[in-house]
């Protein structure tokens, strides 16, 4: 039997934030697209869309205006951060298109185009972020106004303590109270996804509200761990506000993340509606560059093997956790095309002797070097392939965790990579 054959204009390898964004942008431009990859990384997404809030890393300076941080970053880096290759108006367009898509799909976000917002975390700290899910907005406003607020903890949910939040924030937000309440239906232990699905049942919300009302008192808002539904999160949120008579907000929790699952669910449903062919929970096993241009990619083996002919590829496989990069005794390796990886000269320089050093570790900025068209470079510093592009955290010269720019980096570079593919293909008739 002959392996199944597929053809597309663009193959996106990786189904994390960058891969999903690239698939979205490409499909909306009429580019026939196939996306392949494991979707697990989005399950760790907090729901917050960071653009940029910390720079330089060594000083930990936080910025209320993310654009000013990006401007400064783009002028004083020896090795250019990926943002420095994208004009501001293009980053704006990328964020506008991405957030509009989420809103149209039933997951609206709130933002102020020129400043970050302070969001309460499950540790009781404040995180600066660019765009906030609608279900978390009331918490931003309540903190800003220092309004009386009641935080709910469910003992059945591990890793979330409203008391810790209250005690940590007591000095800057003294009007916060916390209580422990059993989750409806008297479970002994619950996982976030199970809680979220239970709260999509009206009777569960009704019982929960009955237990909260006697403790409400002067609270102007009520905060919950981020488990208020998955596919019906807006409905759950609105119903709780109506029943309680005050604003309701979610607080991001430790992974696995329900806001991440919401995003994953939307992409898996909507990309198919946009005509994207999806191969989730699979991987590319082999790639051959064709003399005529483009690539032949092999997925699976034996009778189940699929061969995909693509005019171009966007590599959005992420870093070590997502297996886009592999750390080995001889160095760091890119796992699909075996591209050269920018990295310290030897393993001895991968890590800072001070594990908790504010500046982080050199390995955090390892990744693919690219040209201005987001094409990975070979050993000679030239594009490895004319129609191979890269996006997201696999790119070198950025430390998205410490810079707080993860989602923005993924979205903006995916947008730039799709633009570059479109220009390359049309310009050369590939």
pLDDT of 159-209, one tens digit each? 889 999 999 999 999 999 999 999 997 766 788 999 999 999 999 999 999
Do residues 223 and 266 share a domain? no
Nearest 10 degrees: CA dihedral of 8, 13, 18, 24?
20
Mean pLDDT of 268-279: 95
Do residues 417 and 285 share a domain? yes
User: What is the total count of domains within the chain?
Assistant: 2
Strand partners, 348: none
Do residues 275 and 424 share a domain? yes
**Predicted confidence (pLDDT) per residue in 29-83, tens digit:** 999 999 999 866 788 889 999 999 999 988 889 999 999 999 999 987 677 999 9
Residue 1 confidence (pLDDT): 47
- What is the rounded CA–CA span in Å between residue 247 and residue 223? 9
Provide the token pair at 320. Answer: 């070590």
Q: Is the peptide bond before 248 cis (omega within 30 degrees of 0)?
A: no
Do residues 291 and 379 share a domain? yes
Q: Is the peptide bond before 221 cis (omega within 30 degrees of 0)?
A: no
Q: What is the DSSP string of 16-48?
A: SHHHHHHHHHHHHTT--EEEEE--GGGGG--S-
Q: Is residue 70 part of a domain?
A: yes
Residue 38 confidence (pLDDT): 81
Q: Which domain holds residue 340?
A: 4-44+53-104+261-428
Could you give the C-alpha distances from 99 to 113, 214, 283, in angstroms and in order?
12, 38, 28
Do residues 195 and 302 share a domain? no
Other beta carbons within 10 angstroms of residue 45's beta carbon come to 23
pTM: 0.95
- What is the rounded CA–CA span in Å between residue 91 and residue 94? 5
Q: Cβ(116)–Cβ(225) under 8 Å?
A: no
Do residues 165 and 273 share a domain? no
User: Which range is least confidently modeled, 46-50, 178-182, 251-255, 395-399?
Assistant: 251-255
Do residues 204 and 316 share a domain? no
Which residues have CB under 8 Å from 181's CB, separation 6+? Answer: 152, 153, 154, 208, 211, 212, 215
What percent of the chain has pLDDT above 90?
Answer: 80
Q: Is residue 117 part of a domain?
A: no
């Amino acid at each position: 039997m002959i392996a199944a054959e597929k053809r597309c204009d663009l193959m996106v390898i990786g189904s994390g934030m960058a891969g999903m964004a690239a698939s979205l942008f490409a499909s909306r431009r009429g580019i026939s697209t196939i996306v392949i990859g494991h979707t697990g990384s989005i399950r760790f997404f907090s729901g917050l869309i960071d653009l940029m809030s910390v720079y330089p890393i060594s000083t930990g300076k936080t910025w209320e205006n993310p654009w000013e941080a990006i401007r400064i970053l783009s002028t004083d880096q020896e090795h250019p951060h990926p943002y420095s290759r994208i004009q501001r108006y293009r980053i704006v367009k990328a964020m506008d298109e991405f957030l509009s898509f989420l809103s149209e799909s039933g997951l609206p976000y709130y933002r102020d185009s020129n400043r970050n917002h302070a969001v309460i975390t499950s540790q009781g700290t404040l995180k600066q972020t660019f765009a906030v899910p609608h279900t978390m907005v009331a918490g931003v406003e309540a903190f800003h106004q220092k309004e009386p607020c009641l935080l709910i903890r469910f003992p059945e949910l591990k890793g979330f303590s409203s008391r810790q939040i209250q005690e940590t924030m007591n000095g800057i937000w003294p009007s916060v109270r916390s209580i422990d309440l059993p989750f409806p239906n008297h479970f002994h232990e619950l996982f976030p996804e199970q809680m979220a699905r239970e709260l999509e049942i009206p009777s569960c919300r009704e019982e929960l509200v009955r237990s909260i009302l006697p403790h409400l008192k002067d609270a102007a808002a009520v905060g919950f761990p981020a488990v208020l539904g998955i596919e019906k999160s807006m409905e759950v949120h609105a119903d709780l506000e109506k029943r309680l008579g005050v604003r309701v907000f979610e607080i991001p929790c430790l992974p696995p993340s329900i806001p991440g699952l919401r995003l994953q669910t939307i992409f898996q449903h909507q990309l198919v509606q946009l005509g994207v062919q999806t191969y989730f929970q699979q991987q590319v096993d082999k790639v051959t560059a064709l003399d005529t241009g483009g690539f032949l990619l092999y997925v699976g083996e034996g009778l189940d093997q699929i061969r995909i002919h693509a005019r171009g590829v966007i590599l959005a496989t992420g870093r070590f956790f997502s297996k886009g990069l592999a750390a080995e005794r001889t160095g760091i390796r890119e796992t699909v095309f075996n591209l050269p990886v920018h990295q310290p000269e030897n393993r001895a320089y991968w890590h800072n002797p001070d594990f908790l050093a504010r500046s982080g570790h050199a390995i955090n900025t390892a990744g693919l070097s690219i040209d201005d068209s987001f094409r990975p470079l070979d050993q000679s510093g030239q594009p490895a392939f004319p129609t191979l592009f890269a996006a997201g955290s696999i790119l070198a010269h950025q430390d998205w965790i410490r810079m707080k720019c993860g989602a923005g980096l993924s979205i903006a570079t995916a947008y730039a990579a799709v633009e570059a593919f479109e220009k390359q293909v049309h310009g050369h008739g590939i």
